[in-house]
Structure 1
Amino acid sequence: MAKALTTRAVDALKADPDKRIEVPDPALSGLYLVIQKSGAKSWALRYRFGGKPAKLTLGRWPIMGVAEARGAATDALEEIHHGRNPAEAKKAAKAEASADGDRDKLSNVIDLFMKRHASRNRRGDDVLAMFRREVMDKWGDRDIHSIAKRDVIEVLDGIVDRGSPVTANRLRAHLNTLFNWAKGRDIIEANPLDGIKPPAPEKPRNRVLTDDEIKLFWNACDGLGYPFGPIYRLLLLTGQRLREVAEMSWREIDGDTWTLPDARSKNADEHVVPFSPEALAVLDSLPRIGGRYVFTTTGNSPVSGFTRAKERVDKLMAEASDDPIPAFTIHDLRRTAATGMAGLRFPPHVVEAVLNHRSGTRRGVAGVYNRFDYADEKRAALDAWARYVTQLVEGEPGNIVRIGGR
């Protein structure tokens, strides 16, 4: 009869570099000492459950000694006798422990934040993209409790130092919302952004494209092709917001009118945009992909990838210009259109109606009682502005009434 395993016997057993070895313990049927080719040793119990062979890893040698291994194996055999599979129970316990250990990882907290809170924000995709771009590589695997004020300041300072102060301010705002949300759900006790001010001052943007830049921009859109070229041209012609145009659906268009539903409008007001003949010409040139979205490459979702498209516009404009072109954003096209319509002598309330603004003359009590939508006036302003842009692009200086010396 083979002798039961002892501490001295287990220590004396050597590994085989060519194969894994299992040494049975004669003192307890089913208990084995497993010796890996590397020399690592562990205990395992082999048994049958539900008519099928099964294995339960008990622990590593020498942390688990001979007596402890026999005790663990005996407990497992007792579980089997009562109809419970110890291997499955261990697997479930390990998964639960893993889930509990990972739930406070920042990446998992962000996932929950996006699901429970930010999904109600129409700009939720932008928030998630900023988190992925700016903090996930640095903090994603960290426990949210480990992120301190100093960590936040270092990240924000790095963004400012690379020349993106506005991005740093936006990230601070989004992180502040995230951590306040986590605090409200008792995930953390304190918000590390408390006391951190916006890292950079912001000045209201006043960038407006000049007439020469408008022409360069329009021609550069030819180089982009579908979908970004037509999107950018519509933005310039209509003065509307990027997301609202990019996510436009064919069913929102009726003849020469586009009705932006309140669910997609920034101020939650339905907004009617008359299309000028020039805007309609842009739409008429578009392919029909999938039949739902005006601007799509898949047919199932709106287009994305605006950052790279804007970089291509900048490059094409720079190549076509003899002089440096000051930086501008796509949102500056909206300001350019508004300034252009004002320069063509359309009153502020009409320009605000075109932009779907609730400010100035259309704000507060005046906005509540004045529900006139200025449909005819908006059409006149957009038609005049589109003619102005077309004349610039086609080089008809004799027909252009210059706006404010531009």
Structure 2
Amino acid sequence: MASFEKRSGNWRAIVQRQGHGRLTRTFDTKAQAEAWAATIESEIARGLFVSRTEAENTTLGDLLDRYEREIVFAKKGAQIERYRLNRFRESPLAHRSIASIRGTDLALWRDQRLREVSPATVGREMNILGHVFETARKEWGIALVNPVRDIRRPPAPNARTRRLVDDEQARLVAAAHTYGGEIGALITWAIETAMRRGEIAAMRWEHLDRKDRVLLIPETKNGTPRQVPLSTAALAVLDALPRRLDGRVWSMRPDSISQAFERVCKAAGIEGLTFHDLRHEATSRFFEQGFNPMEVASITGHKTLQMLKRYTHLRAADLAKRIK
């Protein structure tokens, strides 16, 4: 039988069973202590008991710290993941034991975050928190339930469909020429290759095969290297660039590219356009040129056709020209 001790206004439940040692936990009321003891004794009797001591003694903040030390450092997006982990460290939940965190707690956190940031941001934060709990459960052997599974995800935002219209490309090029630096060449390169911003920034001359007109991307977002075929316009961009001593093609980093592009758009009087939209524009143009989905996927690096579909919004007028 379990025993109970009153200590400083609280009640401690004590369960002792052979093979399980001495299990204790403190509660505000005796009723809570009795309910906990009854649950533990029932689980032991049925052979279902799993010690929750580690989960009860580990705060969410502790778990986030271990996840950052052991998991995040090896990820390509380590910097942004650390940023998202810090958002959770700022929450009162970080001081709670992971055994005490329920889906209702995270639902309150979710609703508060939705008043501060976009649904897409909240969804990404939920993804990383869910992975933290799953890693603790599966790889570290901590007995817990993943509370992220119990709550509704924010509705996924509609995929962006922004295309260059009218004379926007010419205006971008003109504004980029006035702005100076590499941004003009980067804009043309992005439209010709559909490469991601990070892939472009990481380009090296050693990965260029000028004879076969292809560029190797050894490290991609999905982890699979790929070769990008280069158009005449893309090759002309490279031919006009000076060779750097460090072997990199571009001097600009990903964030610098986005910042420069925003300034160019402002100078050109263009609203609602991001640098990533140029990848969408390029992908759509490949389809309009008659490439099939598998061919486009081999160029852009999309893993599934469903992922590719999000970037493919063809102009009806261009399709009408192909209808007999």
Task: Report the TM-score when normalising by structure 1.
Answer: 0.51
- Identity across the alignment (%): 24
The answer for the alignment partner of 1:112 in structure 2 is: 66
Q: How does 1:379-398 map to 2 (within 5 A)?
A: none
The answer for the alignment partner of 1:356 in structure 2 is: 301
Distance 2:146 2:305 in 1: 36
Q: Given that residues 252 and 258 in structure 1 are in contact (C-alpha distance below 8 angstroms), is that contact kept between their aligned partners in structure 2?
A: yes
1:168 Cα offset (Å): 1.1
Q: Given that residues 344 and 403 in structure 1 are in contact (C-alpha distance below 8 angstroms), is that contact kept between their aligned partners in structure 2?
A: no
Structure 2, unmatched stretches of 5+, are: 1-53, 309-316
Cα displacement string for residues 108-151 of structure 1 (whole angstroms, at most 9, x for unaligned residues):
5334323433445433433223333x334336963553655455
1:336 Cα offset (Å): 0.9
The answer for the alignment partner of 1:336 in structure 2 is: 281
Distance 2:104 2:259 in 1: 33
Distance 1:230 1:108 in 2: 46
The answer for the alignment partner of 1:191 in structure 2 is: 146
Cα displacement string for residues 47-77 of structure 1 (whole angstroms, at most 9, x for unaligned residues):
xxxxxxxxxxxxxxxxxxxxxxxxxxxxxxx
Aligned pair in 2 of structure 1 residues 106, 213: CA closer, same or farther (>3 Å)?
farther
Aligned pair in 2 of structure 1 residues 216, 289: CA closer, same or farther (>3 Å)?
same
Aligned pair in 2 of structure 1 residues 174, 273: CA closer, same or farther (>3 Å)?
same
1:238 Cα offset (Å): 0.5
The answer for the alignment partner of 1:135 in structure 2 is: 88
The answer for the alignment partner of 2:115 in structure 1 is: 161
1:240 Cα offset (Å): 1.6
The answer for the alignment partner of 1:260 in structure 2 is: 217
Distance 2:178 2:104 in 1: 45
The answer for the alignment partner of 2:36 in structure 1 is: none
1:319 Cα offset (Å): 4.1
Aligned pair in 2 of structure 1 residues 257, 110: CA closer, same or farther (>3 Å)?
same
Distance 1:139 1:168 in 2: 17
Cα displacement string for residues 151-182 of structure 1 (whole angstroms, at most 9, x for unaligned residues):
53344334433451111111111111112212
2:190 to 213, 225, 235: 235
Q: Given that residues 252 and 259 in structure 1 are in contact (C-alpha distance below 8 angstroms), is that contact kept between their aligned partners in structure 2?
A: yes
Task: Report the TM-score when normalising by structure 2.
Answer: 0.62
Say whether residues 1:277 and 2:277 are aligned partners: no
Give secondary structure in 2 for the equivalent of 1:273: strand
Q: How does 1:25-174 map to 2 (within 5 A)?
A: 104=58, 106=60, 109-132=63-86, 134-138=87-91, 142=95, 145=98, 149-162=103-116, 164-174=118-128
The answer for the alignment partner of 1:204 in structure 2 is: 159
1:337 Cα offset (Å): 0.8
Cα displacement string for residues 350-403 of structure 1 (whole angstroms, at most 9, x for unaligned residues):
333322345459x9xxxxxxxxxxxxxxxxxxxxxxxxxxxxxxxxxxxxxx85
Distance 1:279 1:193 in 2: 45
Distance 1:318 1:273 in 2: 30
Aligned pair in 2 of structure 1 residues 183, 274: CA closer, same or farther (>3 Å)?
same
Say whether residues 1:314 and 2:262 are aligned partners: yes
Give secondary structure in 2 for the equivalent of 1:292: coil
Distance 1:225 1:140 in 2: 48
Structure 1, unmatched stretches of 5+, are: 1-99, 298-302, 364-401
1:106 Cα offset (Å): 4.7
Mark the structure with the bigger radius of gyration: 1
Give secondary structure in 2 for the equivalent of 1:194: helix
Corresponding letter in the other structure for 2:192: L
Corresponding letter in the other structure for 1:336: E
Aligned pair in 2 of structure 1 residues 342, 113: CA closer, same or farther (>3 Å)?
same
Distance 1:225 1:187 in 2: 55
Corresponding letter in the other structure for 1:135: F
Distance 2:250 2:58 in 1: 39
Corresponding letter in the other structure for 1:257: V
Say whether residues 1:214 and 2:159 are aligned partners: no
Corresponding letter in the other structure for 1:125: Q
Corresponding letter in the other structure for 1:254: D
Aligned pair in 2 of structure 1 residues 290, 187: CA closer, same or farther (>3 Å)?
farther
Q: CA RMSD in A?
A: 3.7
Distance 2:164 2:239 in 1: 26
For these two proteins, the number of residue pairs brought into alignment is: 252
Q: Given that residues 193 and 230 in structure 2 are in contact (C-alpha distance below 8 angstroms), is that contact kept between their aligned partners in structure 1?
A: yes
Q: Given that residues 343 and 403 in structure 1 are in contact (C-alpha distance below 8 angstroms), is that contact kept between their aligned partners in structure 2?
A: yes
